Amino acid sequence: MRIGILAYERCFATEVFAVSDFLRIANRVARDSGAATDAFDTAVVAASPEPVTTAGGFTIGARRWHHRFDLLVVPGFELTPDTDLDLLLGDRSREIAFLRAAGRRRIRIASVCVGAFLLGEAGLLDERRCTTSWLFASKLARRYPRSTVCAESLIVTDEQITTTAAFSASLDLATAIVREHLGADVARATARITLVSENRTSQAPYVVESMVETTTGPFAMAVQRWLIDHLAEPYSLTRLADAFHVSTRTVLRRYADETGCSPLDFLQQARIGAVKRLLTDTDVPIGKIPRRVGYQDPSTLRRLFLDRVGMGLGDYRRQFRAR
């Protein structure tokens, strides 16, 4: 399998080399298991054979790109709240045109983290499901409204386009490539040799709710502040409406107009965030946490947490507890 890893100015070098190094190790594992030839032939490619300066200021060599690959991997770049995304993507016009041409040729393309924005600019996310880092999922959804952003998914494949979550998901992508082409045994052995998780499926456990970018109007912000102030109390739409001197129908309509969801959706997410903090930053017994965040029935919280986060309360505390 011929794999090209696209290098460009200010990309993350780790997301370039993590994939190629993991596949190199997988080749060796497969050979030790009796394979006659290497399954993966990887190359770092760029717009020109000149060295590329990565986000950390390091330079890496690359071959001149072409379209004779079975898979193109697109790493991410440094994206911060003050980044001018229009300017940054405008500077990547050559890479975007290259990806657009690759898409027309039906070449398989996979992005890591915010590399998805390059795919979006090339029109490759239109009418497709996709993902990126949970931190920038809402930004991706707003910029490419014809796509369906699955913010909690770790890897999403729609036809020949694959997108992944942040940074370390480059290793999940590499593991998935090995599993597809060399089988589960080689993928498992390579993952264990390299200390990579074999079975991550969701980035939901890693989400820090307070860092998720939201776009709300003044009414929705006021409702959210009220809900947070009454987090430990049972949810009552009637009481919420009374607090703002409007009808329940008006609360739902105005809140949905400004956010696209309901006050209960926000409250549940805020409660999940509070539960995560109690699990990781305190010694509060798990049995006492439900009432702390407004649930009289512990099983309701357990089901919600498992559905939203993908693991149980005890498992989450064991994995993420601050020590």
Could you state, in order of their start, the residue ranges of all structural domains in the chain? 2-206, 214-320
Query: Position of tokens 């993908």?
Result: 310
- pLDDT tens for 240-274 read 999 999 999 999 999 988 887 899 988 998 999 99
Please tell me if the domain spanning 2-206 has the same topology as the one spanning 214-320: no
* Contact status, residue 134 vs residue 206, Cβ threshold 8 Å: yes
Residue 24 pLDDT: 96
Token readout for 51 is: 């060295």
* Contact status, residue 95 vs residue 109, Cβ threshold 8 Å: no
Q: Are strands 161-164 and 108-111 parallel, antiparallel or unpaired?
A: parallel
pLDDT of 323 over the 70 cut: no
Q: Please return the burial class of 294, using the count of CB atoms within 10 Å of its CB with bins 0-12, 13-18 and 19+.
A: buried
How many whole angstroms separate alpha carbon 23 and alpha carbon 3?
Answer: 10
Average pLDDT over residues 79-90: 91
How many whole angstroms separate alpha carbon 237 and alpha carbon 216?
Answer: 19
- pLDDT tens for 172-203 read 999 999 999 999 999 999 999 999 988 788 88
pLDDT interval class at 64 (50, 70, 90): very high
pLDDT interval class at 65 (50, 70, 90): very high
* Contact status, residue 125 vs residue 162, Cβ threshold 8 Å: no
Superfamily of domain 214-320, CATH level 4? Homeodomain-like (1.10.10.60)
The CATH class of the 2-206 domain is alpha beta
Query: Position of tokens 């991997």?
Result: 73
Q: What is the pTM of this model?
A: 0.81
